[in-house]
């Protein structure tokens, strides 16, 4: 038995020496230099507005001729996409928990206090409290605002009035995960994915 162990150790040591000697060969091959990568699409700065926010954005969206910016601190800003001129600016008074959702006329955000706010042209038109933490940006589609909460409940609100149209709560799994889900419209169908 002792000889068997000694023989195995000797074979392992010999194999290790062979592998180690393979690493000590000549220099490693050098990669060929890369060819120049010419720009295929010319890029130029149209406008710059570095002081528009004064802080790092949480979310950016391009909506038609506007650039919409939301910050984690609770500021919303709309800039003209062609000129960079400020259209409007709103401070909602509390930090944001998600990015923005919007359509051609309305913008929806959720604050860290679980308040769903809907704005038109920078003016708040309604707000309501969501019962659970929200980590997924609201979806505005078809005249409705959809919210997927962290407890996997989905609520639909009338985009103009804020009236709750329906609420779907999954049974079981009361655990709230700190992970955003996905809300999107495909034709007339709402697709909601929670992880």
- Whether residue 8 is contained in a domain is answered as no
Quote the number of domains for the chain: 1
pLDDT tens for 4-44 read 667 777 777 766 666 666 666 677 788 888 888 777 787 88
pLDDT at 180 over 90: no
Q: What is the rounded CA–CA span in Å between residue 154 and residue 146?
A: 7
- Whether residue 159 is contained in a domain is answered as yes
- pLDDT value of residue 3: 67
- Whether residue 10 is contained in a domain is answered as no
- Whether residue 98 is contained in a domain is answered as yes
- Whether residue 146 is contained in a domain is answered as yes
Range of the domain at 64: 57-193
Q: Whole-number mean pLDDT of the chain?
A: 85
Q: Which residue has the tokens 């969206």?
A: 61
Is the CB of residue 176 less than 8 Å from the CB of residue 195? no
pLDDT confidence band for 129 (50 / 70 / 90): very high
Q: What is the rounded CA–CA span in Å between residue 142 and residue 33?
A: 53
Is the CB of residue 148 less than 8 Å from the CB of residue 116? no
Is the CB of residue 54 less than 8 Å from the CB of residue 36? no
Residue 76 zone, left/alpha/beta (φ > 0; ψ -120 to 50; rest): beta
Is the CB of residue 21 less than 8 Å from the CB of residue 15? no
Highest mean pLDDT among 23-27, 43-47, 82-86, 114-118: 114-118
- Whether residue 80 is contained in a domain is answered as yes
- The pLDDT of 40-56, averaged and rounded, is 78
- pLDDT value of residue 90: 93
- Whether residue 32 is contained in a domain is answered as no
- Whether residue 184 is contained in a domain is answered as yes
- pLDDT value of residue 55: 77
For residue 102, the domain's CATH number is 2.130.10.10
pTM: 0.73
């Amino acid at each position: 038995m002792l000889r068997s162990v000694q023989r195995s150790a000797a074979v392992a040591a010999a194999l290790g020496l062979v592998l180690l000697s393979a690493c000590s060969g000549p220099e490693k091959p050098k990669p060929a230099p890369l060819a120049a990568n010419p720009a295929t699409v010319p890029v130029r700065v149209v406008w710059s507005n570095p002081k528009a926010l004064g802080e790092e954005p949480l979310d950016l969206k391009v909506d038609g001729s506007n650039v919409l910016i939301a910050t984690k601190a609770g500021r919303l800003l709309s800039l003209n996409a062609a000129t960079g001129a400020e259209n409007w600016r709103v401070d909602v008074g509390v930090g944001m928990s998600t990015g923005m959702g919007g359509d051609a006329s309305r913008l929806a955000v959720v604050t860290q206090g679980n308040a769903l706010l809907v704005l038109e042209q920078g003016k708040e038109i309604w707000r309501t409290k969501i019962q659970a933490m929200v980590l997924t940006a609201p979806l505005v589609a078809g005249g409705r605002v959809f919210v997927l909460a962290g407890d996997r409940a989905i609520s639909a609100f009338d985009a103009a009035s804020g009236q709750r149209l329906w609420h779907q709560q999954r049974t079981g799994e009361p655990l709230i995960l700190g992970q955003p889900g996905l809300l999107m419209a495909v034709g007339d169908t709402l697709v909601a994915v929670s992880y």
